[in-house]
Each structure stands twice: as C-alpha cells, then as structure tokens.
Amino acid sequence: MPVRLGSLGWALVALLSAGVALYAFHYLLPSAVAPPGIAENPFARPWLVVHASLAATAMLIGPFQLVPWLRARRPRLHRWTGRAYVSACLVGGSAALLLALGSTAGPIATAGFGLLALVWMTATAQAWRMALARRFDEHRRWMLRSFALTFAAVTLRLYLPIVFITGLPYIESYRAISFLCWVPNLLAMEFYLRRRPLQTVEPARA
Ligand code: HEM
C-alpha cells in the first residue's frame, strides 16, 4: 500500500477496506451472530465486538492517512485521525490477542493471529513514537507497515472464498491463512520500503 499508489490502486485498497470494515461493524448490532467456530471462542464476549468495531475503525481511517495532499493540506485533521487510528489499532489489537489465545482452530491459529496482533501493535506504536519524536520519514514508514498489517483483514477474506471454491480442508487452510493473511503483506511492504532509502532530513526543516 505505497503512499504513491496510483489513484486506481488507492481506490481499490480503500474500497476493499471499507467493505470489510462495514461487514465488521455489523457486530455492533444486538442481532449479530458470529460464524461457527468464532462464536465458540471463549473470549468472543465481549472481545469480538471490541475487536471488530475498533479494527474496522482503523481500517476505514487508514487509507486516508496515506494520501499525501490530505496530510499536507489538513495537518490538524491528519493528527486527530492519526490518534484515532493508533488508539483503534492498540485497543483492537489487544482484543485480537485475547481472541487469538481463544481461537478454536488450535495452537497454529493462535500463533498466526497472536503474532499478527503483536507485530501490528508494535508497528503502530513505533509509528506513533516516531511522529512524537518528529522523525516523520520513519513515522511514514512504520505507518505503511502498520497499514499493510491492518490490511490482513482484507487478504484473509480474499483467501477464504478460494478455500471454499477449491474444496481445500477448511481447518488446515484456516491455520495456514492465520500466517498467509499478513506475512506476504509485510514482506511486500518491506520490499517496497527497501527500494526507497530513509530520508534523514525532515521535509519541514529542509
Ligand atoms: C491486524 C490484526 C488483526 C488480528 C491479529 C485479528 C485477529 C482476530 C482473531 C484472532 C479473530 C477470532 C478468530 C478465531 O476465533 O478463530 C478475529 C475475528 C474477527 N476480526 Fe480480526 N484481527 C485483525 C484485524 C482485523 C481488522 C482490521 C478487522 C476489521 C476490519 C477485523 C475484523 C474481524 C472480524 C469481523 C472478526 C470476526 C470473524 C468474522 O466475522 O469474520 N480484524 N480477528
């Protein structure tokens, strides 16, 4: 999800993110029912609602934080939505960690989702720390990593229909997807960032 994505690429990322976020917000409805396997997670009540609603908030905000002209023209808005994004990731990520511990898909899924929660919160906290230290290029790079991980919610939901269509065994596939939904995202982002060396002179002071 590079900052200089073509507008078509950005629109696709924003659209997919909004679709998954809107689905996740349905957990705020009293009538919401979780899919089999997830409903039985011992931490589902109340942590599924906390996780789904906050992670969805981060997912909705994320793409707009990456738009350069919005950052340049509305810096105060960028700071406030940035605080909301960070808070949503940290609280939504803590709830995700609990859900990972209770996953009915077993220890491999616990490891996959648990590691994702930890790496997601670490990248986001690091991005926030860099913003506070006014190290804006590092802030930007950590935020890109953070959003690549937030986007795992989309990639997971792109893999699941493939499992159904191909008839692959569900539980084994779900365990593999607990890693596949985020490791390639993070590697792709690292590859992108490596091709763009760190700018040590901050634009504001340059
Ligand atoms: C990026 C870090 C994330 C982690 C570590 C994570 C982890 C988890 C875990 C462990 C579960 C329960 C799965 C189970 O019991 O087997 C879950 C469910 C769920 N998560 Fe996340 N999640 C993340 C991001 C997101 C995002 C960004 C969204 C929303 C846009 C989201 C929406 C949901 C929803 C809606 C469910 C309920 C299952 C469903 O209805 O599909 N998650 N998540």
- Range with the lowest mean pLDDT among 47-51, 143-147, 166-170, 194-198? 194-198
Amino acid 206: pLDDT: 36
* Tokens representing residue 21 in the block: 């976020």
Residue 128 confidence class, pLDDT cut points 50, 70, 90: very high
User: Taking residues 131-149, what's their average pLDDT?
Assistant: 98
Amino acid 4: pLDDT: 56
d(C-alpha 168, C-alpha 144), whole Å: 32
Q: What is the pLDDT of residues 99-118, one digit of tens each?
A: 999 999 999 999 999 999 99
Q: Which of 50, 51, 90 to mutate to test the pocket of ligand 1 (most atoms within 8 A of CB)?
A: 51
* Tokens representing residue 88 in the block: 């949503």
CA distances, 141 to each of 29, 166, 170 (Å): 36, 37, 35
pTM over 0.85: yes
Residues 6+ apart with CB under 8 A from 64: 14, 70, 81
Ligand 1 centroid distance, CA of 134 (Å): 32
Q: Which of 113, 124, 157 to mutate to test the pocket of ligand 1 (most atoms within 8 A of CB)?
A: 113
Q: Cβ < 6 Å from ligand 1: which residues?
A: 20-21, 24, 34-35, 38, 41, 48, 51-52, 55-56, 58-59, 96, 99-100, 103, 105, 109, 113, 116-117, 120, 149-150, 152-153
* Tokens representing residue 7 in the block: 């507008």
Q: What is the pLDDT of residues 7-25, one digit of tens each?
A: 999 999 999 999 999 999 9
Amino acid 205: pLDDT: 44
Residue 86 confidence class, pLDDT cut points 50, 70, 90: very high
Delimit the domains of the chain by residue range.
Answer: 15-28+36-194
Amino acid 6: pLDDT: 82
pLDDT at 5 over 60: no
Q: What percent of the chain has pLDDT over 70?
A: 94
The residue to which tokens 């089999």 are assigned: 36
Tally of CB atoms within 10 A around 39 = 12
Q: What is the pLDDT of residues 61-75, one digit of tens each?
A: 999 999 999 999 999
Give the residue, 92 or 5, on which the prediction is more confident: 92
Ligand 1 centroid distance, CA of 198 (Å): 32
